[in-house]
Structure 1
Amino acid sequence: MKAIAAILLLAGSAAGQQAAYGQCGGTGYSGETSCVSGYECTSYNPYYYQCVPGTASAAPTSTSKTSAAATTTGTSKAATTTSSVNTGSTALSTKTSSSTAVPASTSFAKTNGLLFEIDGVTKYYAGTNCYWCGFLTANADVDHVFADIAASGLKIVRVWGFNDVNTIPSTGTVWFQFLSASGSQINTGAYGLQRLDYVVSSAAAHGLQLIINFVNNWSDYGGINAYVNAFGGSASTWYTNTGAQAQYQAYIQAVVSRYKNSTAVFAWELANEPRCSGCDVSVIYNWAAATSKYIKSLDPNHMVTMGDEGFGPLTGGDGSYPYQTSAGGYTWVDDLNITTLDFGTLHLYPDSWGQPYDWGNLWVSTHGAACANANKPCLLEEYGGTNNCTIENPWQNTALSTDGIAGDMFWQYGDTLPSCSCQTSQDGNTVYYNQGNWDCMVTQHIAAINAS
């Protein structure tokens, strides 16, 4: 989605003993390491331990702060540190929802023909976008949101795995990466990637699958613009800027290394809606091929996808703006054939693209046919149209009945946060849990999927 509103982020309070599903250890953590009765401290990765029910692994062996040696890359000498910032912060609130946790996945999600397989089940899956989930500072809010999503039958959740800045904000503000040609910094502190740590662990506890992406084409939460501010060039030259790409890959390595063993990760995503205005189509193709190959070298177990909107000429299309190469600066069907991309993505916003709403059915069906021809599943990853069921339900039905489309995820999910009794952002497309058009957009759609 091109523009997204900021969400109110509130910090929780510390507790004497960690509550159910609270953090209880990990690199850089300095809070409580004992759990409430009935829960044990379990290691999900070296950075994150969580209080979970039943017999678990040993308590954390180290809570020391660590930092990787700074590296210099390219001509811009983009030094990358993984030293923790915001040290000395108090533990965050670990209140959880009252719902029963879903057993964590025991295997990695994968493709199976033209569909996805999760926990051994191959079917069409529905999900949603919760870009702001990683920016919540109260653990109870994350747990509440994921409990509601899981209860609805939605399975895949797409979150922003980036939050880039050019000026380090004051303590209490979430940011993941500071970008500067004189020395970039990856924030592994309490208001840095530890927030994403909790999102991953909570998703695992609630049986959800995450799509985590690494950069935004738009300027929300930094994006490519933050790299341009640091390393020069423009949004179009970012894809070939040596310093920017070196730091981008350094950030990818930092994130992937934290969660490469987590079965709660559905897929890594290169970017949110990458575009290259005025570029030869080879620019994005080469960038996507190189980046996806690099991710696979770090983590061969998880799927990788592009995160693009689906622009470019396509058999059966009507030649309108979205079917033109100039719309995104790439040819979607060619990029779909990159071997290190496991599945394709497409987005759908007729209002933004100057198309009538019923045109969306053609968009979905032509992409599905291309995916079937490439023998890869595709995901209708974002869609929205004035938040109206009569507009969006046909797209859902077309996606469900089209070979090659393996799932859909509406933009965007909304909920009421327990920490503030406030609602998350409404951008005109938000569907709030159990409110308004929730039944026709979610409940009925899940029922249709289960009956298909």
Structure 2
Amino acid sequence: MRSFSSIALLSVIGAASAQAGPWAQCGGKSFTGSAECASGWKCHELNEWFSQCVPGKRETKGAEGTTPAPVNSTSSTGTGKAPAPRANGASFAKADGVQFTIDGRKKYYPGTNAYWLPFQMNNADVDAVFDHLEQSGLKILRVWGFNDVNAVPAAGTVYFQLHDKEKGTSTINVGKDGLQRLDYVVSAAEKHGIKLIIPLVNNWKDYGGIDAYVNAYGGSHTEWYTNPKMQGLYQAYVKAVVTRYRDSPAIFAWELGNEPRCTGCNTDVIHGWATKSSAFIKSIDPNHMVAMGDEGMGLTVGSDNSYPYGTSDGNDFAKNLAIPDIDFGVFHLYTEDWGIKDNSWGNGWIENHGKVCKELGKPCLFEEYGIKGDHCGEQLKWQETSLVSGMAADLFWQYGQKLSTGNSPDDRFTVYHGTPDWKCAVMDHISRIPK
């Protein structure tokens, strides 16, 4: 059975009515729908492009045109607040020179990616993942904080934001098949002492991404970075998620997106977007770090003029890392996907990013890496290089285990918990990290 919020969402995308439904858009530039919310709900302005119906009495502007403070969405606990901080000395992670300090300890940290975790409906599956992470010593986990759709999916399918093409409106799903699933992940991370990196939009079509915005509101992938309406809706979503967890020590960092690109565009496009977006996040959450979430492309140091070192996809690693509100650098490594035949090439890629981070005095996170079907060969050398090249942490792509529905996603990069590959690619690596 669908949650109340999901039922409300279906009413929003159905036939037009005199009132906007719960959590529906109720105002903003170019919005033509109803500005009147259902009984017991009020229209709350998040920015000039987006107002949303939230619980409470009708909201009106005061004599000086001010609006009330943002309202937190309902969490999985039903309290309307983010999961409570742990009472075991947990604190906000921070950049400390070219390293990270987590819960008072400044050292190199291992971690992984499990993008799919917030989309699991079985709490026991989520708990099992965090049990294994804590037991193994993996400290940082990166999961998707986005899941955009252009139509409400089948019952039981998780999604976070609906971009209605017909109406040109956006609705954030805070129901049991929406952000409450991310609530549970954050709560479980707090219990197990794991820190989360959460990107807020995808460059790729998987889970909607930038193209879900473009499909609903027009324009192009490149124009998304500068289009006022789409950026207003992006900021509204960012604000809803960030304010939901801004008091949680489980958040390691927010990322502006996953692998942002704009093919053939000037590097000023993504740099300008990153500058504004990182400042926006810091304005509503000064507690947590912010990173780009990029692949580390556009690197002049040690360049061999190969594709990853170039700027053809709109990124300049050093330029973006120098943005004041970007706290650390991240980069990815996929030799096969980038057309690099020699996997040993990756060692120089790691070393050269370390040099840039050291020069700018910020930590460097080796955030995604893997070789399809070969987790115990050259990939191990990449890990060794990371340990001696000034990196602050590394996160292999990706974590896997058996779930109640079967195995977690296997893209041939996956390292499954408890397998022989797990020992050589994960546990042996952790054992080499100075305590």
- The question of a shared fold, defined as TM-score above 0.5 by the shorter chain, is answered with yes
SS of the equivalent of 2:432 reads helix
- Matches of 2:360 and 2:26 in 1, distance apart? 40
- Matches of 1:210 and 1:253 in 2, distance apart? 17
CA gap of 1:230–1:301, structure 2 versus 1, over 3 A, is same
- Matches of 1:83 and 1:129 in 2, distance apart? 33
2:124 maps to 1:140: yes
Match of 2:104 among 120, 128, 147: 120
**Contact 2:23–2:172 (Cα < 8 Å) also in 1:** no
CA gap of 1:149–1:82, structure 2 versus 1, over 3 A, is farther
The alpha carbon displacement at 1:72 in A equals 3.3
The alpha carbon displacement at 1:332 in A equals 1.0
- Per-residue CA deviation, residues 398-443 of structure 1 (Å, 9 max, x unaligned), is 111012x1110010100111x34x2111101000001131011110
- Matches of 1:213 and 1:118 in 2, distance apart? 19
**Contact 2:299–2:309 (Cα < 8 Å) also in 1:** yes
Which residue is 2:378 aligned to?
391
**Contact 1:83–1:186 (Cα < 8 Å) also in 2:** no
**Contact 1:231–1:244 (Cα < 8 Å) also in 2:** yes
Match of 2:290 among 276, 301, 304: 304
CA gap of 1:372–1:74, structure 2 versus 1, over 3 A, is farther
Letter in 2 for 1:323: Y
- Matches of 2:419 and 2:317 in 1, distance apart? 36
Which residue is 1:31 aligned to?
none
2:325 maps to 1:340: yes
Which residue is 1:428 aligned to?
412
Letter in 2 for 1:297: S
The alpha carbon displacement at 1:348 in A equals 0.2
- Matches of 2:317 and 2:28 in 1, distance apart? 31
Percent identical pairs in the alignment equals 51
Which residue is 2:334 aligned to?
349
Trace 1:234-313 onto structure 2 (pairs within 5 A).
234-313=220-299
- Per-residue CA deviation, residues 43-69 of structure 1 (Å, 9 max, x unaligned), is xxxxxxxxxxxxxxxxxxxxxxx9568
Letter in 1 for 2:259: E
**Contact 1:83–1:188 (Cα < 8 Å) also in 2:** no
CA gap of 1:68–1:373, structure 2 versus 1, over 3 A, is same
Trace 1:5-24 onto structure 2 (pairs within 5 A).
none
2:27 maps to 1:72: yes
CA gap of 1:76–1:230, structure 2 versus 1, over 3 A, is farther
2:134 maps to 1:150: yes
- Per-residue CA deviation, residues 157-182 of structure 1 (Å, 9 max, x unaligned), is 00000000000123311110001353
**Contact 2:134–2:193 (Cα < 8 Å) also in 1:** yes
Which residue is 1:379 aligned to?
365
- Matches of 1:426 and 1:212 in 2, distance apart? 21
TM-score normalised by L of structure 2: 0.81
Structure 1, unmatched stretches of 5+, are 1-10, 12-26, 29-65, 85-90, 93-101
The alpha carbon displacement at 1:183 in A equals 2.0
SS of the equivalent of 1:234 reads coil
- Matches of 1:441 and 1:410 in 2, distance apart? 9
- Matches of 2:89 and 2:367 in 1, distance apart? 22
Which residue is 1:87 aligned to?
none
2:305 maps to 1:315: no
Match of 1:81 among 43, 52, 62: 52
- Matches of 2:294 and 2:206 in 1, distance apart? 16
CA gap of 1:248–1:358, structure 2 versus 1, over 3 A, is same
Trace 1:191-202 onto structure 2 (pairs within 5 A).
191-202=177-188
- Matches of 2:210 and 2:361 in 1, distance apart? 32
- Matches of 2:196 and 2:298 in 1, distance apart? 27
Which residue is 1:364 aligned to?
350
Which residue is 2:92 aligned to?
108
Match of 1:168 among 141, 152, 174: 152
The alpha carbon displacement at 1:73 in A equals 3.6
SS of the equivalent of 1:325 reads coil
- Matches of 1:440 and 1:177 in 2, distance apart? 39
- Matches of 1:118 and 1:321 in 2, distance apart? 35
- Matches of 1:71 and 1:370 in 2, distance apart? 46
Structure 1 consecutive aligned stretches of length 4 or more whose deviation exceeds 6 Å = none
- Matches of 2:144 and 2:433 in 1, distance apart? 27
Letter in 2 for 1:407: A
The alpha carbon displacement at 1:106 in A equals 2.5
Letter in 1 for 2:219: G
- Matches of 1:370 and 1:104 in 2, distance apart? 36
SS of the equivalent of 2:358 reads helix
- Matches of 2:104 and 2:195 in 1, distance apart? 14
- Matches of 2:206 and 2:182 in 1, distance apart? 18
- Per-residue CA deviation, residues 229-280 of structure 1 (Å, 9 max, x unaligned), is 0111111111011111111000000001110000000000000000011111
**Contact 1:103–1:207 (Cα < 8 Å) also in 2:** no
